Chains A and B, each alone.
Chain A
Amino acid sequence: AQSVTQPDIHITVSEGASLELRCNYSYGATPYLFWYVQSPGQGLQLLLKYFSGDTLVQGIKGFEAEFKRSQSSFNLRKPSVHWSDAAEYFCAVGLSGGGADGLTFGKGTHLIIQP
């Protein structure tokens, strides 16, 4: 069965600094990969996704992620964080886009922004 590991439970970053959130997956084939963000009391908002092709994908809000097959990783990056980026971030994998097979999520990384 597939699994997703987000090694960092909490990350604190100063406003304006760069950010990298780690995600490692275990899967027998090339999975579909996603990053979602969740603000307190809210649902999940899709930041970006990787299905195939260019391994560097751009998302909303200035986020990007790079798929590295050799490292089974899909790390999320942002060059300069804003206070509004404080939230919970989830990495997810799916056999396809999820759907019938469901998505498998990591435990999440809580991002704290220092002024």
Chain B
Amino acid sequence: KAGVTQTPRYLIKTRGQQVTLSCSPISGHRSVSWYQQTPGQGLQFLFEYFSETQRNKGNFPGRFSGRQFSNSRSEMNVSTLELGDSALYLCASSLLGGDTQYFGPGTRLTVL
């Protein structure tokens, strides 16, 4: 079975721009979670989607948003980028959300 895939793998943007990251979960998995990883803050939970509904959200500003499609693929969007948004964004999928999460390779976002 193919793992979690994320596109693009690398992205460079400038302050003020917006960005969309994509995540395709493992086939059959309906829950997708997003995490931000930075050297200073470590790994932090952004939000989780299940059946196209956001069920939970971490402590991030409203500039961070996401959505999930009927095929369980998910996108996250960051608007009005700030330098501090530079990070590795990781997507994880699980069958129903209350079980083990499997992570993708991540998207490395650099904001200049």
Grouping DSSP codes into helix (H, G, I), strand (E, B) and loop, the A interface class, with mixed when no group exceeds half, is mixed
Whether A100 pairs with B97 at a CB distance below 8 angstroms is: yes
Q: Find the A residue at minimum CB distance from B105.
A: A43
Whether B98 pairs with A100 at a CB distance below 8 angstroms is: yes
Tell yes or no: A114 within 8 A of B by CB: no
Grouping DSSP codes into helix (H, G, I), strand (E, B) and loop, the B interface class, with mixed when no group exceeds half, is strand
Whether A44 pairs with B90 at a CB distance below 8 angstroms is: yes
Chain A positions 60-115 with a Cβ under 8 Å from a chain B Cβ: 90, 92, 96-108
Chain A interface size band reads 20 to 34
**Total cross-chain contacts (CB, 8 A):** 75
Q: What CA separation (Å) do A41 and B103 show in the bound complex?
A: 13
* Chain B residues with CB under 8 A of A101: 48, 56
Whether A43 pairs with B45 at a CB distance below 8 angstroms is: no
Chain B positions 4-46 with a Cβ under 8 Å from a chain A Cβ: 4, 6, 31, 33, 35, 42-45
Query: Which residue from B44, B58, B92 sits with its C-beta under 8 Å from A98?
Result: B92
Query: Which residue from A41, A97, A102 sits with its C-beta under 8 Å from B100?
Result: A97
Q: Find the A residue at minimum CB distance from B32.
A: A99
Whether A102 pairs with B90 at a CB distance below 8 angstroms is: no
Whether B99 pairs with A45 at a CB distance below 8 angstroms is: no
Q: Find the B residue at minimum CB distance from A6.
A: B42
* Chain B residues with CB under 8 A of A104: 45
Whether A99 pairs with B101 at a CB distance below 8 angstroms is: yes
Tell yes or no: B68 within 8 A of A by CB: no
Q: What CA separation (Å) do A115 and B95 show in the bound complex?
A: 41
Whether A43 pairs with B104 at a CB distance below 8 angstroms is: yes
Interface residues of A (CB under 8 A from B): 34, 36, 41-46, 49, 90, 92, 96-108
Task: Write 20 A-B pairs (CB below 8 A) sorted by A numbering.
Answer: A41-B108, A42-B105, A43-B4, A43-B103, A45-B103, A46-B101, A46-B103, A49-B100, A92-B43, A96-B97, A97-B99, A99-B96, A100-B48, A100-B50, A102-B33, A102-B45, A103-B33, A103-B35, A103-B101, A107-B42
A-B complex: 10 closest residue pairs judged by Cβ atoms: A99-B97, A102-B45, A96-B98, A105-B43, A97-B99, A44-B103, A100-B55, A43-B103, A43-B105, A98-B101
